[in-house]
Structure 1
Amino acid sequence: MTTTSSADSTRIAYTRTGSGPALVLVDGAMCYRGSSPNDALAKELATHFTVYTYDRRGRGASGDTGPYAVEREVEDLAAVVKEAGGEVFLFGISSGVALALEAARNLPVTKLALYEPPFIVDGTRSRVPPGYAARLDQALQEGKRGKAVKLFMTEGVGLSAAMVATMRIMPFWAKLKKVAHTLPYDTALVIEHQTGEPLPSAWPEVQVPALVIDGGRSPDWMRHGVASLAKVLPSAEYRTLPGQTHIVKAPALAPVLKEFFLA
């Protein structure tokens, strides 16, 4: 592990592995080094790239200087990009897609790959309920981390109450509660794209080649959001990984990323 400093002096922890062109992986909600699908992905990619994984602020070994703003997370990523040599390939997964898109507006990103942002763009899934963000904040202010995670899983992710009840007795629930205070960060990144309305052309500055990917077994609402994103990005291609879900397997994803980034 190595650390760098963001523009506001927040400590950002990262790991570098492999050799080749620099590739930075951006986590989704509640994930961090040691508890992330990007850990396995980094191992798969390290034979072709110098891979950087990092703890987003408030998670793992990184700091969490307040108040939060999306701009601070972009500055965190900028600090990692600088450590990587100042020009990188960038991959984002889930809500990390929204952060990667924000970063690609201004950072020296040469190619961009994105897996399943949780964008709700039509009626195939109910929109995130009004007041969700406020209820999430209130639960955290009251110290009810478990309640905050439950709200995220049911109202944010759209899982059934029965499924979440089962999750609450699993060992990993404690890990989720540990980083529950970062849920508003991901909410700030994605909530404007969870209204059930078509995506606007919100990223016209992102002109770099982009690959937008989903899993063939993921729910329709998520796949519709991915397809919509591919259409609004100026220079994007859309690809589906047969048999994959939102919990994508690294051996299925890594070859697609290698092909795209090295072409």
Structure 2
Amino acid sequence: MGTTCSADGTVIAFDRLGAGEPVILVSGASCTRGVHAQAAGLLATGRTVLNYDRRGRGDSGDTLPYAVEREIEDLAAVIEAAGGRAAVFGNSSGAVLALRAAAAGLPITRLALWEPPFQLDAGAPGRSRAYAEELAACLAEGRRGDAVALFMRSVGLPPEVVAGIRQSPMWAPMEAIAPTLAYDAAVLGDGALPAGLAGVTAPTLVLTGSRTGPWAETAARAVVDALPAGRHAVLDGQDHNVSWEVLVPRLAAFLG
């Protein structure tokens, strides 16, 4: 494990695998860098992979108050640790963070995104606001488990499935990083596309699964339409919980 220091002094931990042109993996909500461990191993043939813990997760530190700009600075620090320029892969809300970082001018050579969860229907801003307010209340009252359950329901898991997961060994680690759910809510904002995408010149691949649902394709096409060098590809038979054995070959081909 290596570490780097963000602009506000927060220590950001990462694993470095392989050798060659660098690519950085950005995880989504409720995840540490462990979610990408298999993907990192598969990618680390002919390239250097930096798989990092976002702030407040795993082995990384945290500094309050939170701001999306601080997470962009975290990614900038990891890019610097990679040599000053790198390709970036973002997963789910991590894809939105990667897009925001690219729009902010970080030296990203190529950008690959797995199902950025933009919600572009008319009711999306209201749902996002209600979710953020309820999440903030859960966290302010110390109800981390309820915060995790709220997140799971918000992404479509039925209550009985959430109840089952709540009794499993995976629940405690998710509770431990529950405060970072608010960070992802801030990254997503009202669900709309971030400003400045027309200035993102890095070649960008937006990947979606054929079984995820129409929202993913709608979001992907909107992102591609907003980018000067974006394209969309569909992974047949995949849903949001993608198989790395299926995704990594497409990602590796794009990265070159």
> TM-score band, normalised by the shorter chain?
over 0.9
The 4+ residue runs of structure 1 with deviation greater than 6 A are 123-127
- Distance in 2, matches of 1:99 and 1:233, equals 15
Matched, 1:233 2:231: no
Specify the alignment match of 1:255 in structure 2: 249
User: What is the TM-score when the length of structure 2 is the normalising length?
Assistant: 0.94
Specify the alignment match of 1:213 in structure 2.
Answer: 207
Measured in 2, the distance between the counterparts of 1:218 and 1:98 equals 17
State the aligned residue count.
Answer: 255
Picking from 159, 162, 166, the partner of 1:161 is: 159
Q: Deviations over 1:144-176 (max 9, x none)?
A: 001111111113x13222222222122211111
User: 1:78 touches 1:107 (CA, 8 Å); kept in 2?
Assistant: yes
How much does 1:200 deviate? Answer: 7.0
Structure 1 gap segments, 5+ residues each? none
Letter aligned with residue 225 of structure 2? K
Q: Does 1:145 align with 2:139?
A: no
Gaps spanning 5+ residues in structure 2: where?
none
Taking a change above 3 Å as real, the CA distance of residues 130 and 192 of structure 1, as seen in their structure-2 partners, is closer
Q: 1:129 to 1:205 in 2, by over 3 A?
A: closer
What letter corresponds to residue 75 of structure 2 in structure 1? L
RMSD between aligned residues? 1.8
Q: Which amino acid aligns with 1:151?
A: L
Alpha-carbon offset, residue 229 of structure 1: 1.6
Matched, 1:25 2:19: no
TM-score, scaled relative to structure 1: 0.91
Q: Which residue of 1 aligns with 2:237?
A: 243
Query: 1:129 offset after TM fit, Å?
Result: 5.2
Q: Determine if contact 2:128/2:191 at 8 Å carries over to the other structure.
A: no
Residue identity matched to 1:230: V
Q: Is the 1:125–1:221 contact (alpha carbons within 8 Å) kept by the matching residues of 2?
A: no
Alpha carbons 1:120, 1:127 under 8 Å: kept: no
Question: By percentage of residues, which structure has more helix?
Answer: 2
Aligned to 1:70: 68
